Amino acid sequence: MLAERFARAASVAALHADAVDREGRFPAEAVAALKAERLLGLQIPRQFGGEGSGLTDIAEGCFALGQSCSAAAMVFAMHHIKVSSLVSHGLDSAWHCRLMERIAGEQLLVASSTTEAGIGGDLRNSLCAVEAEGATFALGKDASVISYGAQADLILATARRNAEAATSDQVLVALMADQITLERTSTWDTLGMRGTCSDGFRLEARGVPVEQILPKPFAEIAAQSMLAASHLLWSSVWFGIASYAVDRARVFVQAEARKRQGQVPPTALRLAELSNALQAMKATLVSALRRFEDAQGNADLLDSLAFSVMLNNLKTTASDMAVDIVQRALGIVGLAGYKNGTPFSLGRPLRDVLSAPLMIGNDRILANTAKLLLVQKSAGQLMSA
């Protein structure tokens, strides 16, 4: 059963989560467990040796891991966001089909390079450009953040189509670890999400066959698979972190209740509010996942403004709610949560979840939504996007 495989990987992740955080190191044990459970190839179609899983299955994994080790959960999410782009847009390319076979067979780990010095979180613009020389190309990128760049087996990177192309005329290229050099330009010594090892690099690729460029324009890949996968899977990780915090608060309140039987502890009221907030967050996430699953095969709907607005709203709402929920859980647990090394410690989850509103800044996303709302019309039905 998939849930059991996730649970086994999550229990390994939990065991090492504190050390991963403290040392700011890659969650190697958790990723080894994910590979041992064959979870890195889940989304790959069956004909290429995968299991043909949809994003909802992957979201369950992000949620399970998010409760154990945020960094391992985010690595799993980011890997599958990249794989979803391959599965949605690589089927027409023999090279990418072979790559999918290798990801499933060898459990290869895929990283992402969109962020660039001078561009920041503006996914849809690049400065660096593919420079084709006959059947091969070269690419140099000031990649200011690549999570687990040093540990990944391959990196999917955005770049302008060629040296003359506009900054928004981008392609997505697959670069195998042995085809590139990565020179570390900054170290990921952060408040939280420390185990994602999201260092900055100067990425140099040379002599890469042009068939490794995904045939679809990145604009389409971003709109049709990456935006949805990112917001749905990131939010699932954040929901896992928030759920863990609420669990800690509940256990704490229940222990209080056992000590003073016959009385409802004052913190129980705060717990009731918190369960309310967690349910609202879950509803936002689950309805977005359902809408996404229902829209599969309906390119017009997936491409519509209303759908983009819905996904943008999911990201900003889920990220803000997750921070709020973890903070309020800490308020219930009190000092036992503020201290490290207690059964109620919430320092690590709080520091981790603070990255959520910054991971593609919420204001950047709101500004984008604001533009879309200039033409969007009201929804006709309760159950429509």
**Residue from 109, 152, 171, 193 binding ligand FAD (CB under 6 A):** 193
Q: Which of 288, 293, 300, 290 is nearest to 234 (CA)?
A: 288
Give me the count of residues in the chain. Answer: 385
Nearest to ligand FAD of 107, 355 (CB atom): 355
**Residue from 124, 202, 206, 364 binding another protein (CB under 8 A):** 124
Residues in contact with 221: Cβ distance below 8 Å, sequence separation at least 6, in sequence order: 85, 88, 89, 172, 214
- 236 is a contact residue toward ligand FAD (CB under 6 A): no
Q: Which of 261, 262, 238, 276 is nearest to 357 (CA)?
A: 238
Contact 121, 234 (CB under 8 A): no
Interacting positions 69-88 with ligand FAD (CB under 6 A): 74, 78
Q: How far apart are CA 179 and CA 283, in angstroms?
A: 43
Q: Which amino acid is at 339?
A: K
**Residue from 19, 135, 163, 166 binding another protein (CB under 8 A):** 166
- 169 is a contact residue toward another protein (CB under 8 A): yes
Q: How far apart are CA 224 and CA 126, in angstroms?
A: 19
Alpha carbon separation from 100 to 32, 97, 146 (Å, rounded) = 19, 5, 21
217 binds, among ligand FAD, another protein, none (CB under 5 to 8 A by kind): another protein
Q: Which amino acid is at 321?
A: M
* Shortest CB 360 distance to another protein, Å: 15
Residues in contact with 287: Cβ distance below 8 Å, sequence separation at least 6, in sequence order: none
Residues in contact with 335: Cβ distance below 8 Å, sequence separation at least 6, in sequence order: none
**Residue from 363, 379, 383, 384 binding ligand FAD (CB under 6 A):** 363
- 361 is a contact residue toward ligand FAD (CB under 6 A): yes
- 296 is a contact residue toward another protein (CB under 8 A): no
- 313 is a contact residue toward another protein (CB under 8 A): no
Contact 315, 235 (CB under 8 A): yes
* Shortest CB 122 distance to another protein, Å: 11
- 364 is a contact residue toward ligand FAD (CB under 6 A): yes
Q: For binding to another protein (CB under 8 A), which residues are involved?
A: 124, 166, 168-169, 217, 219-220, 223, 299-301, 303-306, 368, 371-372, 374-380
Q: For binding to ligand FAD (CB under 6 A), which residues are involved?
A: 74, 78, 111-115, 120-121, 145-147, 193, 196, 198, 355, 358-361, 363-364, 367
